[in-house]
Structure 1
């Protein structure tokens, strides 16, 4: 075993020591699926050299590459070590060696979204509705609305018929525009469980007046019941009205009561990003369209709803500082911070006036 290769025993120690650590699962996306078993950032081997700086901006961070046992990780370590990444290591035997004793008790890089959301459900008693119950309500002409908390792109592929696309971090901000009556029953859906449970509990904890539940197993359950999904952008959130913003401001205060996050400015964020002793992510949690119009230089578009369920797809360095960037209202950042802190992330918030003429779009 070379000096740039570590065995499973050392990897276990690194996962538990609390120091900054980056892990990249470099297998093909189809093989990784929902990130099991590591729940680390998936960056396929043929993308590593071009994109590693985006995911792991500080070159001196301990970084482990895990492959499919093909020794591609060792080859990448050798190539990249000549570009200033002296703390780059390959996991000996890759994922096959890591999992040879079975998955039970196997440590993970990040908390799996399903585990986190189920813990929320069990602790809070989040209400649930099944596909059969939803179909029955619709058949009875009940006043019910389905809010799909996935990304708009996922919604476009398929969704429960009649649902409205509202990514998770947007739920509180857009709620009053989409659900004008307090008597409307609100069902939050996603592809399965995590984002639906978190979305439903967000609305409940924010104190919306409506009866809220999540759809068990979301679109997956809808298809498994033999029901045809709807395809395309049939209904999506629009610009938040002033009434919706007022509603969101009042209700986000209820959700985040007791939360406390440092508020920083753009200059501080830039200084943190240049710190050669600590990794900092500057994550813009607004919509992709807002980010494209204007954003803080050096920040990364990272929808808050995605961070809530699958943070590891963006945050490849455990122990890093995470700066969440939002507009001056800060509803998306507050929602995201509220849940990410409970997953152990160190959070700071940067609220910015993106209408300011002084902003230089990158």
Structure 2
């Protein structure tokens, strides 16, 4: 029988910095409505795919919960089947937790709440949209740095914006802004990356006047100002001289914060104890650089996004993190924020060689069983088959196998029992993996034959077969939370509601008492007039 853990005991782990991973095994929609601060969204139907990179150590303590839907026993069994052996169920689920701790809405909440705390403590300089517009119109010596991922910048940006993701800001700064007299405006879609990006530059001690666009592109849109689209301007890689200059600023700030630097031998020691102490090794450089070559054992985690969405890479609160770069800037600046977010963080000295003997401990693994797999030709030969698609709903909407029904993975048993017909059921998903993960469970819940499509919908497309967009819903599409700060079709009330929500996060943190965040103050710098 799976053991249980009380909400009070869970919270003690956070406050005392003991390792623990908390998994919300519902769909992302319900998760985004209410969850504890450090909960991860890992739907029960996607555990085998999502959990291993988030929790790489098999003996790490894992706690699962739902809100009474009945998913937790199934989730615990699937987690144990992967080889994890310290799994518990949260006693009383979400409702019991809500009696003793704050519950939060939205996603990536720890980072967003921390960003609001940074602004409140550090007084991060910012300007509202119309003031920024006026500055851009009357001042030619202004540089606008968009701290989001390039894809987000390409979708929409403010005038004169150039893409410079948050982890790259100081590293590329002196290439983009050679003069100390240039005013710099940092923006994102909402608030967090603008605040953290601006404060990164302010903290580093650069001589320029730096301000955030208050409320980002949301604030710009709510003021009725026009955004630009499909822009491709990027801040280039810095020259050797500019990189060395940035390193001086980064090193001084990282030392002030208390970022610890380690060498290859110390990294080997950490790796040797990774069976008993969870270790994440993350390469914080630009993903394109990572793709060209990276040290074995390090995963790509661009620095700005890692700070903005730490819970998408690091699932075990209380774990140890080692950061890598080749320049001595990006890892130090990223590390300075993760330290303040309460993580035990180290930066590998860029002059140190990554040891060859650094290897991952025994890690969770899953392989698709050949039993139940069918090919595209097999599917074509069926005359009364029903195709059920386990894609995320936005992917399903864009195109799916003709006649395929959308289903919620966690509610697969319920939905399959509503499908009419007597022929076989064929599960599919984008690459077939999620379908394969759920075929055995599906077979136990219906009397019809159940198969999964090897290679998934991608295999269908590869044979030049058509997709369709007509939707057939077995489940309501609650699998994805529509972020009010992404895309260009958001309702004004949703954007304003999101900004209002962010402003309330500091009060929630104070009432909750488990964050263990600490904002390090920098040297005071006199503000310059715009």
Q: Secondary structure at the match of 2:271?
A: helix
Give runs of aligned pairs for residues 205-284 of structure 1, distance below 5 A: 205-266=203-264, 268-275=266-273, 276-284=275-283
How far 1:142 sits from its partner (Å)? 4.3
How far 1:198 sits from its partner (Å)? 1.5
Unmatched segments (≥5 aa) in structure 1: none
In 1, Cα distance between equivalents of 2:158 and 2:100:
36
In 1, Cα distance between equivalents of 2:73 and 2:51:
15
In 1, Cα distance between equivalents of 2:286 and 2:33:
23
Question: Structure 1's 168 and 19: CA in aligned 2 closer, same or farther, altered over 3 A?
Answer: same
How far 1:303 sits from its partner (Å)? 0.9
Match of 2:25 in 1: 26
Deviation digits for residues 280-336 of structure 1 (CA, Å, limit 9, x no counterpart): 100111110111111111211011112222212211111111000111x21001101
Match of 1:75 in 2: 74
How far 1:259 sits from its partner (Å)? 4.1
Match of 2:152 in 1: 154
Pick one of 138, 141, 147 that aligns with 1:140: 138
Give runs of aligned pairs for residues 81-230 of structure 1, distance below 5 A: 81-92=80-91, 94-99=93-98, 101=99, 104=102, 112-230=110-228
Unmatched segments (≥5 aa) in structure 2: 359-530
CA contact (8 A) 1:158 1:232 kept: yes
How far 1:242 sits from its partner (Å)? 1.9
Match of 2:343 in 1: 345
CA contact (8 A) 2:125 2:212 kept: yes
How far 1:339 sits from its partner (Å)? 1.5
How far 1:210 sits from its partner (Å)? 1.2
How far 1:178 sits from its partner (Å)? 1.0
TM-score w.r.t. length of structure 1:
0.87
Deviation digits for residues 214-259 of structure 1 (CA, Å, limit 9, x no counterpart): 1111011112222232223421122221232132123223423434
Deviation digits for residues 157-183 of structure 1 (CA, Å, limit 9, x no counterpart): 222232111111211110111112222
In 2, Cα distance between equivalents of 1:213 and 1:202:
11
Q: Secondary structure at the match of 1:112?
A: helix
Question: Structure 1's 115 and 51: CA in aligned 2 closer, same or farther, altered over 3 A?
Answer: closer
Runs of 4+ in structure 1 deviating by more than 6 angstroms, as ranges, are 353-356
25-34 or 241-250, which deviates more: 25-34
Give runs of aligned pairs for residues 21-60 of structure 1, distance below 5 A: 21-33=20-32, 37-60=36-59
Q: Secondary structure at the match of 1:318?
A: coil
Give runs of aligned pairs for residues 288-303 of structure 1, distance below 5 A: 288-303=287-302
In 2, Cα distance between equivalents of 1:246 and 1:91:
49
In 2, Cα distance between equivalents of 1:232 and 1:26:
37
In 2, Cα distance between equivalents of 1:354 and 1:153:
33
CA contact (8 A) 2:47 2:78 kept: no
Q: Secondary structure at the match of 1:258?
A: helix
RMSD: 3.0
Question: Structure 1's 206 and 355: CA in aligned 2 closer, same or farther, altered over 3 A?
Answer: same
Question: Structure 1's 66 and 38: CA in aligned 2 closer, same or farther, altered over 3 A?
Answer: farther
CA contact (8 A) 2:162 2:235 kept: yes
In 1, Cα distance between equivalents of 2:54 and 2:190:
26
Question: Structure 1's 68 and 247: CA in aligned 2 closer, same or farther, altered over 3 A?
Answer: same
Q: Secondary structure at the match of 2:211?
A: strand
Q: Secondary structure at the match of 1:204?
A: helix
Match of 1:310 in 2: 309
TM-score w.r.t. length of structure 2:
0.61
CA contact (8 A) 2:250 2:328 kept: no
How far 1:353 sits from its partner (Å)? 6.6
CA contact (8 A) 2:118 2:196 kept: yes
26-35 or 70-79, which deviates more: 26-35
How far 1:102 sits from its partner (Å)? 9.1
Q: Secondary structure at the match of 2:309?
A: helix
How far 1:129 sits from its partner (Å)? 0.5
Q: Which has the larger radius of gyration?
A: 2
Deviation digits for residues 322-361 of structure 1 (CA, Å, limit 9, x no counterpart): 000111x2100110111211122111111447999x999x
Q: How many equivalent residue pairs?
A: 354
Q: Secondary structure at the match of 1:188?
A: strand
Q: Secondary structure at the match of 2:158?
A: coil
